[in-house]
Amino acid sequence: MTKMLCGLALAGALVLPISAQAQTAGKTVIATPNAPEAIGPYSQAIKAGNTVFLAGQIPIDPKTKQLMKDASIEDQTKLVLDNLKAVLEADGLTMDNVVSTSVFMKDLNEFGKMNEVYATYFKTAPPARATVEVARLPRDVKVEIGAIAVRP
């Protein structure tokens, strides 16, 4: 009999019920020093088959480890997407491999500004996207973005 784990939704991550056996079979941790290290019990990304699930990134400069909490939404969005790009590159992928993103914003009134920067990273065939306003984000940042990418 396979044990089932409970599902749990968190900002930047969705964990669905899966068997305990599937948790260890066929999954690879993707990590790079070119993106902020995980600040909790999670991975920068997990590869399962041809799919890469990227953890939500917040605007932390991976070189200085400094949080850009007071930066503009444009600057925060750029750093977040650069961090996602670095994690993708660690597995030989690009932003063109992203099929879905989840954008969490502190203030949807800044959606237009975020979207202008976001559009520069996804020029052709942009991924599916969900964008929501949340009451609070880790370390009180303005934006967090997670993604799913697929290897062709």
Residue 31 lies in a domain: yes
Question: Could you list the residue range(s) of the whole structural domain that residue 42 is in?
Answer: 26-150
pLDDT per position as a tens digit, 103-121? 999 999 999 999 999 999 9
Domains identified in the chain, total number: 1
| Statement: residue 124 has pLDDT above 70 | yes
Mean pLDDT of 31-58: 96
- Residue 106 has phi, psi (to 5 degrees) of -70, -35
Residue 39 lies in a domain: yes
| CA–CA separation, 59 and 33 (whole Å) | 15
Residue 10 lies in a domain: no
Residue 11 lies in a domain: no
Residue 106 lies in a domain: yes
Cβ contacts of 122 within 8 Å, gap of 6 or more: 95, 98
pLDDT reported for residue 39: 82
Q: Please answer whether residues 145 and 102 qualify as being in contact, where contact means their C-beta atoms are separated by less than 8 angstroms.
A: yes
Mean pLDDT of 21-31: 75
Share of the chain above pLDDT 70, in %: 84
CATH of residue 71: 3.30.1330.40
Residue 12 lies in a domain: no
pLDDT band at 80 (very low <50, low <70, confident <90, very high): very high
Mean pLDDT of 73-99: 98
